[in-house]
Each structure stands twice: as structure tokens, then as C-alpha cells.
A = this chain, B = another copy of it.
Amino acid sequence: MTSNIFETDLPKTAANHVALSPISFIERAASVYPDYTAVVHGDVRRTWAETFERVKRMANALAKRGIGPGRTVSAMLANTPEMFELHFAVPMTGGVLNTINTRLDADTVGYILNHGEADIFMVDPEFVEIAKGAVARSGRDLLVVDVPDAMYEGDNAPIGATTYDALLREGEAGEAYWKPDDEWAAISLNYTSGTTGDPKGVVYHHRGAYLNALSNAHDWGMQPHPVYLWTLPMFHCNGWCYCWTLAALAGTAVCLRAVREKPILDLMRREKVTHFCGAPIVLNTLATAPDALKKDLPVPIHAMTAAAPPPAAVIKRVEAMGITVTHTYGLTETYGPAVVCAWKAAWNDLSDDERAAKKARQGVRYTVLEDIMVADPDTMEPVPHDGATIGEIFFRGNNVMRGYLKNPAANAAAFRNGWFASGDLAVMHEDNYIEIKDRSKDIIISGGENISSIEIESVLYRNPRISEAAVVARPDERWGETPCAFIVLKPGEVMTQDEVIAYCRQNMAKFKAPKTVIFEDLPKTSTGKVQKYVLRQKARRMNES
């Protein structure tokens, strides 16, 4: 073997090897497009130069407060400019941004603050009640920071020791800030409802954030300077990485507190929105809006949807409005979308139903996802590409998470033979597009939110009148899926459906409570295991009858 001439004297240097990080995107946007609008929120309009100035000040302020590598800033915020800014400011300290689902209950948020070892907790006035409870339960000595918002219409009193603006005044924009030496450094922490009661903390790194942000633009065919409406919560997978994509494209982030038809459609007109994302329920909200609200939209507008296949009727209605729909699929563990139903021009000639059937498929790998496989989970043998044989979806690539924080057991289960096991069941079609046939058996996705059936079951089991409980997904035209509980009461006990639902709403985040309750014996295997697939079939048949 001769020596390799290309491996001699050609080392990495600071000139030719730089750690990938989305911090680079905002630096470029502010340098090249300083006067372009970065953020819009109500009457607030800030350029990329102004936004970067604020981001640098906040990064410096957070660093002075002790945030750096290994430290966590948690945020329970609406889609505001501050939430957007934190996606850059926290990474620019070396710290980790932990955005928390604002629909969770105080117990769960408290668990997250504790498990993620939050040092600072940013709170929107709308969520102060939950936040207060969460801080108490967290057992952590936290700096709570109020983040007031002029667009908030309630009158909740502040709970923090300081405010976002006061913190901003502590920082200097001219000070040096942190950038990674190693692109594998953690950038964010996103908790996902796992199949057990405790949420799991998914760790993203700078490399994956950078690459998935680019792939978002590449695979959606986005051109520079999109005007992006925040119908998708930024707390979901860092707004599926679109916070960073917008910096890479020097686009405009049009903020939005609540997903309601009138503000959405008004903002689309006022800001000439080009792109937005969300679960199919967002599309449905637009499809069913009064015609008067839909006038003069700046079409075409591009929508990306995930969490459930968009129903044919919804696609038809929004496309009639001039909104094109791209269907994507992914998990918190894959930085959000990592699979896209890449559209082919030849399909445009199909009937509405055929087109919807094509579009309902989850599709093919994102450009930066290295590989996707549907395989037998025991043998890891790929299924034939026949559109019929069911297997589990496995991912492999740079937009797969580093892993679950402080959870070796979950990591051991998730990473198998060099693949990430999604838990979702699908077929592989002849044209190499995947189509999900059954979600991970213990997850229900309702309006874009993951709900653990096991978490609901454990609450139900705690009720003294309930003997047995099993929860499965029931298909729903509006929400995608809703939780459906099958219940066996203890002998002599009586409970109504409404009582079961009310009990659940008191003991978990309200959106997780079952929408359907059925009292009947549970089908079981010979070894006594509940046959959930039988219950899922029953839940599906309810909609057909």
C-alpha cells in the first residue's frame, strides 16, 4: 500500500474548516441585508440589523448571567419576536434553548424544568399560571424572566424577577459572543411526549440545525426573502428549524399569537405572506373561513403540513384559494420534517382524489437526511417496495438527534444497528415513497400535538372506580386523531362518558383528554396483553358507521 498523498500535510485549519452553526446565517443576514425586515409583530417591525443587535445584546446579557455551554434557558412563549430572537441569542452563549409546549400542564412543565436543569425561564404573560406552578414543582432556583407582549390581551400579572427588556439592557451588542468549535455541540432541547409518562428531552446540535435549516429551503424550493407566517408554534422542534431557515434566506418572520382565521388571513394580505407551516388543522381553519375573509390573498401561498396526511377535501379547498400544499413527515427526534412528499409534475394531471392519495403519502427523504428505511424491526430487513408489506420506519442522517438527555435506556431503544427507530409503521411503495399505515402504537397526534396513550391510561388507572383502561387513536377529520378510551369499571361502579372526560381534564393537559369514551371489555391475547390493534380497528369503524 503506497501512502495516501492527499492525506499528507493538508490538515484542517481555521481557514478551511469551520463548525457549522445557524449563528452564521444571522451574521450573514445582518451583514448583507441589514435593512430587510426580519420580524413583524403587530406594530413592531425590525430589520435584520436591528434584530441581530438585540440578539447580540441578549446573548451578552445571558452570558453575564452565567449562561454558557452546559446551561439551559427554558422558554414558555407565544410566537413573538423575543421567542425568535432567543433561537439565536441562547446558542450565541453556548447555552441550550429549551422551548416548552405552552399547552402542557404545570406538572409536566415542572418536570421539564427540573430534568433539563433550566437556569433561566422566560415566560409569556398568557402562561404565568402554569409557569408559576411549574417553577414550584421544578425544585430549581430559577431566574424567571417575564416577556411582556403588547399583543397579549389578558391582564395576568408578571411573576418574574426581571423582564426581557431589562435583561436586554444588561447586555452589550459590541461584545464578543460564543461560536462553536465543534458543530456537535448542543443547541436546543425539545421535550417530546414519549410512550411513557415522562417526556423525553431531545438534544439537537449546531450541525443538524444548520443542515436541516438549509434542507427546508432546498426541498421546499424556497427562494431568498420569503415572508413566513408563524402559524406553527416555535416551540415545536424550533419551529421545525424555520427560525434558522429564515435567517439563511434573510426572510421575514411574521409573528402570530394565536392560530385564528381572521388574523391569519389579514396578515397574509398585509404582509404579502409567501409561506407558512402547520398541522392540517391550520389548513382546515383557512378552508372553512368565511369567503369574505379570503378575498385578495397574495397567491400563490405555499403551505407545508405535517403530523397527519392532509385530507383530500381540505387540499381541494385550500388549493382553490391559491394555497399549494406540501406534505412532510418527521419527529421531534429528526428536527421536525425529514421526509417530504416530493411532488412530481406528472401527478398534476390526476383526478383530485388520486392527487390527494399521492399527497397523503409521507414521501422521500429530505436532501440532508442520508437514508430512510422501512424494515422488519426484529431483523432490520427492509420490506419489499410493494406498497403493502408493513414495517417500521428507520432514519439515518445528520438531522437525527444527538439523543435523549440523561436517558440511556431510551437511547438504547431508539438507536438500533446504526439507525434511529421511529416507532411508526409504514409501507414502502414501488416508487420509493413511504406511506404511514399506523402511527407508533402508543402515540396519538391530535392537532399536531403528540399525546401519549400510556400517560392517559395511567391517569385513568389512578381513578378508584376504573378497573381497566386502554387508549387508542380515533381518526378525526378536524384534528387528525383524537384519543379514544376503552374502559372497564370496577364491579358496581357507575361513571358517565362526561365524568371520565372531566376527570381526565383535571389531571392532565386539557388537550390530552379523551374525546371518546367507550365502556366495554378489552380484547386480550392468551397471555393477557390488551390487543390494541383490535381497539384501533373499532375506533376507525366508528367513523365509518
A residues adjacent to B (C-beta < 8 A): 2-10, 12-18, 20, 24-25, 28, 31-34, 69-70, 96, 117, 184-186, 189, 203, 208, 214, 217-218, 221, 223-224, 248-249, 342, 344, 364-365, 367, 370, 395-398, 400-403, 405-406, 408, 411, 415-416, 418-420, 431-432
Q: Within the complex, which residue of B12, B14, B403 is in contact with A184, where a contact is CB–CB below 8 Å? A: B12
Interface pairs A-B: 7 shortest CB-CB: A14-B418, A4-B70, A6-B186, A221-B223, A16-B400, A10-B402, A18-B370
- Contacts A31-B364, A218-B218 aside, 4 further interface pairs with beta carbons under 8 A come to A5-B117, A6-B185, A9-B403, A16-B401
Residues of B contacting A420 with CB < 8 Å? 15-16
Q: Tell me whether A405 and B5 are in contact in the complex, defined as CB-CB below 8 angstroms, given that A15-B420, A218-B218, A398-B20 are known contacts.
A: yes
Docked CA distance A287–B158 (Å)? 66
- Look across to chain B and name the residue whose beta carbon is closest to the beta carbon of A186: B6
Q: Tell me whether A418 and B15 are in contact in the complex, defined as CB-CB below 8 angstroms, given that A203-B6, A403-B9, A406-B5 are known contacts.
A: yes
- Are B218 and A15 within 8 A (Cβ)? no
Interface residue SS majority, chain A: loop
Docked CA distance A432–B31 (Å)? 7
Residues of B contacting A12 with CB < 8 Å? 184
- Are A70 and B2 within 8 A (Cβ)? yes
Residues of B contacting A184 with CB < 8 Å? 12, 17
Q: How far is the CB of A154 from chain B (nearest CB, A)?
A: 35
- Are B406 and A8 within 8 A (Cβ)? yes
Q: Tell me whether A342 and B32 are in contact in the complex, defined as CB-CB below 8 angstroms, given that A9-B408, A70-B6 are known contacts.
A: yes
- Are A203 and B10 within 8 A (Cβ)? yes
Which of A185, A402, A415 is packed against the most chain B CB atoms within 10 Å? A402
- Are B7 and A398 within 8 A (Cβ)? no
- Are A28 and B365 within 8 A (Cβ)? yes
- Look across to chain B and name the residue whose beta carbon is closest to the beta carbon of A334: B16
Docked CA distance A400–B31 (Å)? 21
Residues of B contacting A32 with CB < 8 Å? 342, 364-365, 432
Q: How far is the CB of A460 from chain B (nearest CB, A)?
A: 33
Q: 13 A-B contacts, Cβ less than 8 Å apart?
A: A5-B70, A7-B70, A10-B405, A16-B208, A16-B397, A16-B398, A20-B398, A28-B364, A32-B342, A32-B364, A218-B218, A218-B248, A218-B249
